[in-house]
Structure 1
Amino acid sequence: MSRLMKAAGVPLVATRELTAVSADGSRLHVEVYGPEGAPALVLAHGWTCSTLFWSAQIRELAGAGEYRVVVYDQRGHGRSPAAGPDGYSTGALADDLEAVLAAALAPGERAVLAGHSMGGMTIMAAAGRPGFREHAAAVLLCSTGSSRLVAESLVLPMRAGRLRTRMTRAVLGARAPLGPVTALSKAILKYATMGPGASPERVAECARIVHACPRAARVAWSHVLGELDLSSGVRELTVPTAVVAGTADRLTPPVLAREIAAALPDSLGLTELTGVGHMTPVEAPETVTAKLRELVNAYVVVPASVGEAEKEQAV
């Protein structure tokens, strides 16, 4: 039984669960939902999250058997084991995505790739890789940035400058355990990562996911994000790419999304969601799912074998 079914209470079980092995030997937990041969999407979650973060998209896109959705736990998150001390870097993110694509997709098969926050950074880090170019048909970037994440963060209500940057870095990299989910911790999480109109149910959903992230992985990845510069990766992202951002995002404010959309070689534009925070796939699931559906319908070709089978059934 999959974690998605147990956590979200929906009658949907992974078609396949597999392990992808990255370049350094790190093992990544991968889940595939929906029928084999259906048009594919590969979804990469963000910092402190897991495959559970994409529950709404899996239910809508794979639940009716229309699409095949691949999700995986980033190293150190969910059911993917932690890496060694030197195993956290943007290069590792790119290696891991290439490994997942090779394990879950057929050679030459193209899919829509989507990433939220660090998942979007994963896609930018991998944009120039052969495995990415083999499999990426189009991309959706949700609530992400390519550089200056700490300097632009609005988590602390202070004037921009060195002091705010230094204090933000300390907060995001804090080693203190998050502890159990409480009313106070949910209020803090909502302020830092979600819009003011986020429902209590969606706040609680995000809190359960974030608090489950192991402290060591949370701290290790915070150091990587604090020094991030993927500007070259944006320029190498040559497939059609759409960007989504919340206007109330404190972690990766819309200014970062605007910069990405302006620098993309094949930009499909930026959608700014009024009043939505950082957790766009959970806060605005209908909009994110609609964008994914639009991209897969426009840019992913159903394999010939599937089309031939449909013709045979019609005869």
Structure 2
Amino acid sequence: MSLIPAPAPARTLTAVSVDGSTLHVEVYGPEGAPAVVLAHGWTCSTAFWAAQVRELSADHRVVVYDQRGHGRTPAVDRSGYSTRALADDLEAVLAATLAPGERAVLAGHSMGGMTLMAAAGRPALRDHAAAVLLCSTGASRLVAESLVVPMRPGRVRTRLTRLILGARAPLGPVTPVSKAILKYATMGPGSAPDRVTVCARIVHACPRAVRVAWSHVLAELDLEAGVRELRVPTAVIAGTADRLTPPVHARALAAALPLCVGLDELAGIGHMTPVEAPEVVTARIRELAATYVSGERDRTTEQTEEAV
């Protein structure tokens, strides 16, 4: 993977969520092209999707946005962090970037995938989601199933994991030590140094208060009902070396989804799949768009021409 940054966006805009919170949104690629909307995970930003934006924007309209408190989206007070807020924000982004009834591939990594699950039963998802990709994510029991602490499952491991993920200590500057820690916790053992550096810079840029606030939401996560409401073709990707959301989550999602169209377990890859395995993630998004967005557009065009 070349670590060339994403190109300049075709336009930027601000979406306004139901509680008045504003969201930084970027749109890439040609107008009228099949649409893709990408939602990043905890402690990340639009920069996390650079590889996907760069490759897909040549022939897709790609929408990326910063989750509240991340990147260029302002933080909110403590009560403003919740799975409901994730769903509200996604609805605002879809309303600001897609035409009424326009359908797109919606892809989410980690907390971004949880965003899609949280919004699954909402009209905006029914109106706009042609297909979904869930990368390195889970619906519940995130702390209990985490493998960040190398101990047997149980109360002690769960308690220690909760303390680590919710730690209030500042991450500080990116150093060789901090990169080693981040690699252990979030990436596969064979991850290239430049990819580790990219992820470290993104994660360390997340404000401490925002990181901690979202950690409390994730620790109590239960979106099992949302998985069952995700009634569109949905693909799942997981890394076999993912310590944060190990493959047990992906397998549970694949089993519970009403219309799962594939589970890919990537050998040796950790939690940061869009950065660690960008070609695989991009290809899956492109395949979903070709099957469920472009195909639908072609059928609509044919029906219109027949009617004329």
TM-score, normalised via structure 2 length: 0.95
Letter in 2 for 1:15: A
CA RMSD of superposed structures (Å): 1.5
Q: Which residue among 173, 179, 194 is the counterpart of 2:166?
A: 173
- 1:1-315 equivalences in 2 (<5 Å): 9-10=4-5, 12-62=7-57, 64=58, 66-301=59-294
Q: Alignment partner of 2:79: what SS?
A: coil
- Contact 1:246–1:278 (Cα < 8 Å) also in 2: yes
Query: 1:149-189: per-residue Cα shift (whole Å, max 9, x none)?
Result: 00000001111101110110010000000000000000000
Kindly state the Cα deviation for residue 264 of structure 1 after the two structures are TM-superposed. Answer: 0.3
Q: What is aligned with 1:3?
A: none
The separation in 1 between residues aligned to 2:25 and 2:301, in whole angstroms, is 27
Aligned length: 299
Gaps of at least 5 residues in structure 2 are: none
Q: Secondary structure at the match of 2:71?
A: coil
Task: Render the CA deviation track for 1:48-104: whole Å, top value 9, x for unaligned.
Answer: 000000000001000x2x111000000000000001121000000000000000001
1:188-224 residue CA offsets vs partner (Å, 9 max, x unmatched): 0000000011000000000000000001110000000
- For the residues of structure 2 that align with 1:266 and 1:95, how far apart are their CA atoms? 24
- Contact in 2 for aligned 1:39/1:67 (Cα 8 Å): yes
Shift in Å, 1:10: 4.4
Deviations 1:204-251 (A, max 9, x none): 000000000001110000000000000000000000000000000000
C-alpha deviation, 1:9, in angstroms: 4.6
**SS of the residue aligned with 2:134?**
strand
Q: Percent identity?
A: 76
Which secondary structure does the structure 1 equivalent of 2:33 belong to?
Answer: coil
Once residues 271 and 206 of structure 2 are traced to their aligned partners in structure 1, the CA distance between those partners, rounded to angstroms, is: 17
What is the Cα deviation at residue 132 of structure 1? 1.2
Moved over 2 A (4+): 8-11, 301-304
For each residue in 1:10-68, what CA deviation from the matched residue of structure 2 results, as whole angstroms up to 9, or x when unmatched? 47210110001001111000000001110000000000000000000001000x2x111
Deviations 1:98-157 (A, max 9, x none): 000000111110000000000000000000011111100000000000000000000011
Does the 8 Å contact 1:76/1:214 carry over to 2? yes
Indicate the SS of the match to 2:181. helix
Paired residues of 2:6 and 2:54 also in contact (CA < 8 A): no
Q: Structure 2 vs 1, CA of residues 31 and 11 (structure 1 numbering), >3 Å: closer, same or farther?
A: closer
TM-score, length of structure 1 as denominator length: 0.93
Q: Are the equivalent residues in 2 in contact too, given 1:37–1:303 (CA < 8 A)?
A: no
Task: Work out the CA distance in 2 between the residues paired with 1:303 and 1:22.
Answer: 29
Mapped partners of 1:146, 1:85: distance in 2: 22
CA contact (8 A) 2:6 2:51 kept: no
